[in-house]
């Protein structure tokens, strides 16, 4: 004879209804955790193709007989691709789904890295184009995914995403020269960074079950193109990025020309990028505690300029200190740029549109930074004049940041 329930019929009914909810909630929690892990692994792969080359650039130049102009082009090409491929990302995502395009871009990235390392001069430039284009596509799509999947914690998730970017860049900058010695080959050392891209693709594969079409984006007569705040966010993104890619492409070379050996120069650059983890999470978190993000933008830009000038002119035995200051500044400038895309937009669709504009135009603008730095070195046969270039970029970024840091949304009447 069944035991009599001590609860009321209504309570029994509620318990029956609640029982299947716990497995569903647990399943959703596991899915969210796996998505977070996959996002981090994807983000880790968005910088090694860029930061792994600089520590061995002198070896690459010698081995392939590249002049300074060709080396400058090599550091500029991937950044230019970040901008040129940004509009393509949304069209591909609208047709095939956001998650599916991220997966394909990861595999394309791995192929580009292998091509860059193993097929001589032609492979080096062609693989660099492939890698830059792949990173450009993924970089545009991820902020929209973060805004869509984590709407209540987008600022923290943006910081986590930025930390993963910085970690990948630091890892590649510091490990490429040791890998060159382990493999006794710079091509194999550069090709090694295809492996993390493949692992990220494997981790991302389960997202195919929930692939979403990307928000439609107008390519003509779009309000964002006539919006002052959108342009301020875009200019800030591009100008701070130009400094970041100057560091990725040339800082190790600058340090080597100042007498630092190849291993130590790679480690200094790696340390500079690694400390970005602190400000990448801390700067947006502190900035979003207030209505206005302008004070934080001013602080991180000041740290960036101080670090750059210190790496150029300070005594050699203090270079690590200045590299750390530079890293604290650049981690904050980049995470603030990504945060502004989220903070200055009211929804995921607008965030996706602003992401395309800010990264498409911004990265195209950013590609001029490493190119101009290479030209300055070739014309002056040194790095002293680079300080004027860095100062000009930081001051212009400051002016754009003071507009982008004000509270408001890009489609509000106050920001037109």
CATH number (domain holding residue 399): 1.20.1250.20
In a domain, 343, yes or no: yes
In a domain, 11, yes or no: no
Quote the tokens at residue 366. Answer: 């950013």
**CB contact at 8 A, 169 and 51:** yes
Q: What is the pLDDT of residue 10?
A: 45
In a domain, 229, yes or no: yes
In a domain, 16, yes or no: no
Q: What is the pLDDT of residue 326?
A: 95
**CB contact at 8 A, 333 and 293:** no
In a domain, 27, yes or no: no
In a domain, 367, yes or no: yes
Q: What is the pLDDT of residue 105?
A: 94
Q: How far apart, in whole angstroms, are the C-alpha atoms of residue 52 and residue 122?
A: 18
HSE-CB at 18 with a 13 A cutoff on CA atoms is: 6
Domain housing 129:
34-210+222-415
**How many domains does one find in the chain?**
1
Instruction: Tell me the average confidence (pLDDT) per consecutive run of 10 residues in the chain, 416 residues long.
Output: 50 47 60 83 89 84 80 79 80 84 93 87 89 88 76 71 82 87 91 94 84 48 74 92 86 89 85 85 77 88 95 92 94 87 77 80 85 85 90 95 82 52
**CB contact at 8 A, 56 and 177:** yes
Q: What is the pLDDT of residue 220?
A: 38
Q: What is the pLDDT of residue 413?
A: 42
Q: How far apart, in whole angstroms, are the C-alpha atoms of residue 189 and residue 173?
A: 11
In a domain, 7, yes or no: no
Q: How far apart, in whole angstroms, are the C-alpha atoms of residue 100 and residue 10?
A: 46
In a domain, 154, yes or no: yes
C-alpha distance from residue 389 to each of 78, 268, 327, 369 (Å): 21, 22, 19, 9
């Amino acid at each position: 004879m069944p035991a009599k329930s001590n609860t009321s019929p209504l309570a029994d009914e509620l318990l029956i209804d609640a029982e299947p909810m716990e497995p569903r909630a647990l399943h959703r929690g596991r899915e969210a955790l796996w998505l977070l892990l996959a996002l981090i692994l994807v983000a880790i792969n968005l910088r090694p193709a860029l930061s792994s080359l600089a520590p061995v650039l002198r070896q690459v130049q010698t081995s392939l007989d590249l002049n300074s102009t060709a080396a400058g082009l090599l550091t500029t090409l991937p950044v230019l691709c970040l901008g040129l491929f940004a509009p393509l990302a949304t069209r591909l995502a609208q047709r095939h789904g956001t998650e599916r395009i991220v997966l394909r871009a990861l595999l394309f990235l791995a192929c580009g890295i292998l091509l860059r390392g193993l097929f001589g001069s032609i492979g080096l430039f062609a693989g660099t184009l492939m890698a830059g284009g792949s990173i450009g596509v993924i970089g545009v799509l991820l902020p929209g995914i973060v805004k869509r999947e984590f709407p209540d914690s987008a600022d923290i998730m943006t910081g986590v995403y930025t930390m993963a970017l910085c970690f990948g860049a630091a890892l590649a900058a510091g490990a490429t020269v040791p890998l060159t010695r382990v493999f006794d080959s710079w091509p194999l050392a550069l090709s090694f960074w295809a492996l993390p891209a493949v692992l990220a693709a494997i981790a991302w594969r389960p997202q195919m079950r929930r692939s979403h079409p990307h928000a439609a984006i107008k390519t003509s007569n779009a309000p964002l193109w006539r919006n002052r705040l959108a342009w301020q966010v875009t200019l800030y993104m591009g100008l701070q990025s130009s400094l970041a890619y100057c560091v990725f492409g040339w800082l190790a070379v600058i340090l080597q020309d100042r007498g630092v050996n190849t291993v130590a120069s790679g480690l200094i650059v790696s340390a500079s990028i690694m400390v970005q983890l602190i400000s990448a999470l801390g700067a947006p978190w502190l900035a979003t505690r207030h209505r206005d993000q302008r004070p934080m933008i001013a602080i991180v830009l000041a740290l960036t300029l101080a670090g750059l000038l210190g790496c150029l002119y300070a005594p050699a035995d203090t270079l690590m200190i200045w590299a750390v200051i530079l890293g604290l500044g650049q981690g904050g400038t980049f995470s603030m740029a990504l945060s502004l895309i989220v903070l200055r937009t009211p929804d995921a669709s607008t965030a996706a549109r602003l992401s395309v504009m800010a990264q498409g135009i911004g990265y195209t603008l950013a590609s001029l930074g490493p190119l101009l730095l290479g030209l300055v070195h070739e014309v002056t046969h040194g790095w002293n004049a680079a300080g004027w270039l860095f100062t000009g970029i930081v001051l212009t970024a400051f002016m754009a940041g003071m507009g982008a840091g004000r509270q408001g949304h890009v489609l509000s009447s106050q920001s037109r």
